[in-house]
Each structure stands twice: as structure tokens, then as C-alpha cells.
Structure 1
Amino acid sequence: MTETPEPDLAAVFEVIRGSDGGSRDLSAMRADYADYIDYFRDPAPDFDGVITDEVLPATCEVAVRQYLPSVESDPGLVLVYFHGGGWVTGSPEGTDRFTRAVASQLRLHVVSVDYRLAPEHPFPAALDDCLSVVEYLQNLSHRIVVAGDSAGGNLAAAVSQVRVDAGCPVDAQALIYPALAAPDQDRPGPGPLDGYGLDLSEMHYFWNSYAGTHSVDRRLAPLLSEDLRSAPPTLVTTAGFDPLCSEGEKYAQRLIESGVRTHYLPFPRLTHGWIDFADRIPSAYEARDAVIAEIGTLVAAVSMPVGST
């Protein structure tokens, strides 16, 4: 690797080094993750519209946070967001600054899903919750863009594939440093990118907590899909100092080779989880704006003209 991390990430590495990364107490881990996110973000900016926390009457009732701008750029199109956190931590509140920015800057209706977490609720609980929300919104005749970061990127890609199988494909997907394959169980660690925000031992813990005893298939590891030709238009973004980088790069390449309209947006000098500290780290803030702009391009490509039916 010839690149070096962005200099302003030093503040992030200092916090990482000072944390107890080895804790496996769930309540402490979740609280620490929420504190880490809160440490690097500014107070919530004003939102021109309505933000609500509610439970959708889906197949299994699922909690969501909805962002509805006062004026929508494309009424009828909904971006459904799945947060990161290794399927074990995270929440719509944790990803609020990003989803709020997407809704505000692009004037999009955004629904952020509070799916059930592992290990209390292993696979397929999180995927089922995400599918329930997407199916509910599709049944209301909404066009759907699914998006997510890390574990949420995994869920977005899995939802896309399952909805293709069901004959009700989503309209587009945006995958932000997604987890798309099982970690090598024969290599417990340390990994070559340990210390940059996602260590190999953490990857194993998160994966095993979510997958449980389920056999690995393409709903767990979307990179295993043999045929991606029916995938929707896609944005894939990766971070260079992230053990998941190669998975995202391979997935984007396979989509391109399958003839799917795909934009691959790498950030070679950023680390895993950069969305979480974008408020306070300039390089991550610039990346966030770039990703939001590309989501806007993706949405524009699948949008319907105003007044069309």
C-alpha cells in the first residue's frame, strides 16, 4: 500500500487507541459506539420538513425514522437507509447526520430502519426487518432506492437481490464501504489494517454474532451471487484503509462486467466508518458531500419527471 491515511484522521486514531476495543459486553459496546459517534458530530442542523420516529405496520412491525422534506424533488421516490455497526450496534439516531443531510440536500423522502440487532436476533432477523420496510413501501407504489454503510451496505445489497428474486426489484442501490463476504475464519488476526477503525477480530465477532449457525449464502454474503445482471443501478464507495475495501471493489467490478449501470467511488486515504466522523473531520466531510452528490446522480437517473405517472 503506497497511500497514507489523510492527516486529519489522526484525531480519530487517537480516540481509537484510547478505547477498550476488546470489550464484548453488549451494553457497554453499544454505549461506547454511540459515544464515539457523538464525540465526532455537531448538533443536529435544522431540517426543512418533518422528522418522525414511528413503527410501520409492516409484516413484522419495524421501527423507522422518517425524514420528509417540505418540498420533495421526486415525490413517490423513497431512499431506505440501513445503518452500520456490524449488525450488533448502531441505530437511526447514530446515522442521523448522514440521513438528515441526504434528505435535506437532495430533498428526498428518507426512511432509516431500526432493524433488530444481533446476537439477540441473528440472521435473518435484520434482513427480514429491512425487507418488510421495503415491501411495505413498494406496496404503497413508492419507487425505492436502498442504501447503507458497512453492515447496512450488506443489508442493502441483500435486499436488492431478494427483491429481484421476488419479481419486485428496487430502483437503485448505494453501498457505502459494504460488508459483502464472510471474513476468513482460518485467519483470526491480527489483520494488516488493524488500528484503522475495523480490526479483523472485530470482523469475526460481528460476523459470527449475525450469521450464527446459518450456512453462508448470498443473502448473508451478497458477493457470492452468481448472477448480478438483474441488479439495479448502483453506487459503490470504499475506503482504502478498510479491510472491506476489496469486497466493495470486487462487487463493483462484477456489476460492471454484468452490464449493470455502476459508479465506483473509492476514497483511498480514508478509513472504515468515515461517515461517523464526517462532521468534525474535513476529509470525511468532503467525502460525505461527494457521496451525497453521487446519490443525487443515481436518483436522477431513475427518477420520473414531475407530473408523470
Structure 2
Amino acid sequence: MTEMPSVRGKLKKDAPLAKLVWFKAGGHADWLFEPADRDDLVEFIASIPETMPVMALGLGSNMIIRDGGVEGVVVKLGKAFASVEKLDDVTLKCGGGAHGVLVSSAARDAGIGGLEFLRSIPGTVGGFVRMNGGAYGRETCEILIEAEVLLRDGSVRTLSNEELGYSYRHSELPEGAIVLSATFRGHPEKPEAIQAEMDRIQEARENSQPVRTRTGGSTFKNPEGGKAWEHVDAAGCRGLTRGDAQVSEKHCNFLINLGNASASDIEQLGEDVRDKVKAHSGVELEWEIQRVGRKSG
């Protein structure tokens, strides 16, 4: 049994994760660490065996935690990692744990346009950087200058946009790396114009997505030349269920937990949808939602 180092933050063994993800389903983490601050996190990662897996967890919105739980350490960044600092008239440095709503609001107050879309993504800066988070025609790679990351060996590096190797909903951020901060650049804009754009995006999201349910956000990546939801709908999957997991009737690229769905129910429903779409149109949908952990307890 590995002896864990002492920390100033919270370190809990066999910690339940379901309450920390939007689907409200899934197993436990072998260890859950909520660092007190940056130094606490860096020292901890440098002290544990390099063979021990490490996974950062933001808002848990675009993620299935499998029922068997997550091996190693899950790191949850709190308020100490949620700062937003204005560097100049068009640039913000944001902590890895900062929510998209906080970042976009800070940008508005500073008169920085171009970051409005972050308000509509239910996640944190770390997730945006790792997954090239995007919505409403914009992506993180369009505004990111660089990211400061803690690598699995305990070293801290600053990676440029180019070094992160962005593509659609993907980056080359190394496995086990944790985003400490990211620097975003927008353009000068009047705060009232920024607010109007954020209001437009928020209204569109409320009208088209099942935002007040236990969901995981967009389930599948849009295939070349089309929309994932159109293929799901055409294959007759709108409203499809497996246990308490359902394909949303409001937006069929969203899966929802109607109450007591297991993570296995949700993931298998997604696979059911992929099979039906493949049979109907020949299109092989790719998961956008991250699926992590052991499949069974």
C-alpha cells in the first residue's frame, strides 16, 4: 500500500465522485485531492510514485465516471485556482479552476471581446485547454496564447498554443498533466456589446439544450460535413432509453440521467446510439464525452 505524502489541502481515500459530475453517476476515486494552493499541488504530485495515475477534474460536465471508479488520484482544483487577472487591455490570465462564466464576465468588465462563448460551456479553464472546448462557432485554440501546466513528473512548464497541438475537441496535453493557468487574448469591445452577445448565446443554449437536467453536454463530436444530432435523430434515437438513461428529446446529442441511471447505463446507451447511426447512415460517431475509470467495481 502506497503511503501518501502529507498535504495542507484535503486528501480523501475511496472518495465518491458521482456528486462531482453532472450525470450524478459513477464510482469512487482511489484518492481525491483538493490542494490548498499551487505549492501544495506541486509538492504532492512530485512526491507520489510516477506510476500512480493522476486525473484532473473540473466541473465534471463532459464526463462519465465509470461505476468501477478511478484508479490513482483525482485532483479537484478549488478557489485557489480560480483567479482571473487582467494582464493588458486585451489579455487575461486565468486559473485552471476558473469557471467559464467567471472568465467571460471578467472579460466583459475589462472590455475584452471574443471570450463570450466560454460562458456557454459548463466547464473550467483546465478542461477548455485540454479539450479545445468550443461552442457557437468559436474554440479555445482561437483565444489561447499559452498554458502553464504541471506535468506528471512534478515539473511545471509553459506550453504555447502551437505546442498544445490543437484539433477539433482535442489537444496534445500530456497524460496526467494539470493546467495551472491559461492566458487568453481577445479584442477591445464595449462591455454592453459583450453582454448582449453573452445574452444571445445564453438564450440560444436555454432554448435548444436540456440544461436543467443531469446531462453530460454534447455526447458525440460532429462528423465531417454534418451535425451529430441530425444523424442521431435520423436513426430514430430521440428519446431512446436504457434503464434510467435517455437520449434527450430536446436535443438528441445529449444523454440525460432520468434519476437512477448507472454510469454503465449511460455509456451503453451511447454505444446503442453509435450502433444505430452506423447501421442507418454508415457514419461512425466519435465520443466527445470523456469516459474514464474502471468499467465494473
Q: Same fold (TM over 0.5)?
A: no
Query: Larger radius of gyration, structure 1 or 2?
Result: 2
Q: Name the one with the larger helix percent.
A: 1
Question: Under a length normalisation based on structure 1, what TM-score does the superposition of the two structures give?
Answer: 0.29
Q: Name the one with the larger strand percent.
A: 2
Question: Under a length normalisation based on structure 2, what TM-score does the superposition of the two structures give?
Answer: 0.30
